[in-house]
Structure 1
Amino acid sequence: TAVLDMIKSSSVSGALARKVRKWAKANLKSDFLEFVMLTLPPEPWKVMADLVHFNPSDFCIPYFLHDLHRESSSKEKQDSDKNTEDKEDSEKNTEEKQDSKMTSNAFVSRMRDLVKELDRDDLSSRFYDIADEFPQIYLCYAFIRKHKKLMAQADIVEQVASNIPLDTALWYFEELFQASHVCESIVQERLRGEEELYNPSRTSKATYGKLIERILTFRRMTTPNYKEMETLTAMFGFPWTPQTLSVVLHHNGGDLEETVETILNHGANDPSSLVRRLKGKSRRTSSPEDDSATSDGLAEDVIP
């Protein structure tokens, strides 16, 4: 199509290419690049590399570019002429150079090997061996959770719940809990500790709205984690009590998404004012027989 032809023939100015290369070097962290190599298709990155002429030194992981082209390099190697001794020597030298480039890529290679053989009986021990050598495995939960056989191993999931970033453990608590109920006590213990929820070197999932959603979800699950969460939110200057959260949830018919949106748009910093308005609306629209339902305890039955 015309759009595809335009993309294929597109080019960028030298100034823009330099800005993109500088941005990549400053902003693309190693854990993200490893996630790209393990999970995402390489084609868009190849197109970008062709447009701005990336160099290996433009990335904090110098073998990233080489890894993007690993499949095409392998195909070229298979198709190459191996009839003459000189050709064989040349290919041997090329292979040695490629192996040398990939020595720093041991983590990504080991993870690929792990998921290729998920049926082996020693899956847990192989996972632990990688984790001992490469702690960054715990920054790859988005990759781990894609593989059902890894998530079916309770001991692996418990190890993951103990070591992934706390905000990640909170956000994906339901699936960790489903794999092993021991994860509930693991996360609760981490919430009680002095662990930092934020890490300036990566993007945190612990936004104001997401913390509200987590508290409400934990209360619905009747897990004691919500009590620990209420103390955790002090770092936000979080002014909401379980009772006021329940009032807003009741007003929105138990819908978590609408509840969070109502709080963020109308009462993030002044919950008491929002609750009074909602109770006033409820009293005006309810019959006298239902007045008791709009009292301070109106949400007692909404959330356990």
Structure 2
Amino acid sequence: MTMLDVLRQIRVHEKKLKRLKSSKVKAKTVTLGKIKNNIDNLNQLKPFNGSASDAVVRHIQRWTNTLSQQELEYFALHMPTEPWRKLSVIVHFNRTRDFSALPWFLPFCFEKQAPPETMVARCQILTNDNVNTLFKEFEIPYSRLKQFKDQLEDASKARITVSEDKIDTLVWYYEELQCSAVNDIINERIHDDK
């Protein structure tokens, strides 16, 4: 998407260069050189065809409306927010209309705190002492809890095992989650699949 936005960025820099050249106060040559360098670099990235047209923007906006609350919470917990900020600059998202499943997601990407009652806000204060309590309250992905695997109680490990859809993933994490309750659940799931 960034490459499709190159043409707009070139126009922005060319407009800035033109404004500086036509101003009454003479601009520094270093400043003009940096802008010209940016234009040259962007020209190297310019695609042969295609741009961030309104049709592409609308397509991306429709796609963001299909994202569920769980997916957006996962992105907020595990993924960097910078790509969302860059995409927002290009697409000009409306935070309530384009992310209707989670209205605070876009402000969160721009460094605003998530509401205190949400899983994302609570997981930011996840510690050895509160990991089991928070896991009882929220369906936190194991990938987020993994760093606290030594503090997980057997009941929490069993809940992780029950909530995981794929048996392959359970086998992958078996050594970390191993306890009698997990063994029973895995055996039961294997026998049910036969």
Give TM-score scaled by structure 1 length: 0.42
Structure 1: any 5+ residue segments left out of the alignment? 74-97, 192-224, 232-304
- Counterpart code for 2:161: A
Q: How far apart are the structure 2 equivalents of 1:109 and 1:4?
A: 42
C-alpha distance in 1, partners of 2:62/2:159? 37
Map of 1:142 onto structure 2: 143
Q: Is the 8 A contact 1:157 1:179 kept in 2?
A: yes
Aligned pair partner of 1:23 in 63, 80, 85: 63
Q: Any conservation in 1 of the 2:64–2:98 contact (CA below 8 Å)?
A: yes
Q: 102-111 or 41-50, which moves further after superposition? A: 102-111
- The answer on 1:67 being equivalent to 2:127 is no
Q: Is 1:47 aligned to 2:86, yes or no?
A: yes
Residues 5, 40 of structure 1: CA spacing in aligned structure 2 closer, same or farther, 3 A cutoff? farther
Structure 2 distance, partners of 1:37, 1:50, is 18
User: Is the contact between residue 170 and residue 187 of structure 1 (CA under 8 Å) also seen in structure 2?
Assistant: no
Moved over 4 A (4+): 3-7
The change in CA–CA distance for 1:64 and 1:5 in structure 2 (over 3 A counts) is farther
Pair 185,41 (structure 1): closer, same or farther in 2 beyond 3 Å: same
Note the C-alpha offset of 1:49.
1.0
Alignment partner, residue 34 of structure 1: 73
Q: Which amino acid aligns with 2:157?
A: V
Counterpart mapping for 1:102-181 below 5 A: 102-103=114-115, 106-114=118-126, 117-118=127-128, 120=129, 122-128=130-136, 130-131=137-138, 136-137=139-140, 140-145=141-146, 147=147, 149-150=148-149, 152-155=151-154, 156-162=156-162, 164-167=163-166, 169-181=167-179
Q: Secondary structure at the match of 2:124?
A: helix
Q: CA deviation at 1:42?
A: 0.7
Contact 2:62–2:98 (Cα < 8 Å) also in 1: yes
**What is the root-mean-square deviation of aligned Cα atoms in Å?**
3.0
When residues 143 and 187 of structure 1 are mapped into structure 2, their CA distance, relative to the original with a 3 A threshold, is: same
Q: Which amino acid aligns with 2:104?
A: Y
Matches of 1:61 and 1:126 in 2, distance apart? 20
How far is the alpha carbon of 1:44 from its aligned partner?
A: 1.0
Task: Decide whether the 8 Å contact of 1:63 with 1:105 is kept in 2.
Answer: no
Quick one: which amino acid aligns to residue 152 of structure 2? Q
Aligned pairs, number: 148
Which has the higher Rg, Structure 1 or Structure 2? 1
Q: Whole-Å Cα distance in 1 between the matches of residues 44 and 151 of structure 2?
A: 45
In structure 2, the gaps of 5 or more residues are 1-37
> 1:51, 1:24 → 2: CA distance?
14
CA offsets 1:45-93 (integer angstroms, 9 cap, x no match): 11111111111121221111011011xx5xxxxxxxxxxxxxxxxxxxx
* Aligned equivalents of 1:4, 1:64: Cα separation in 2: 33
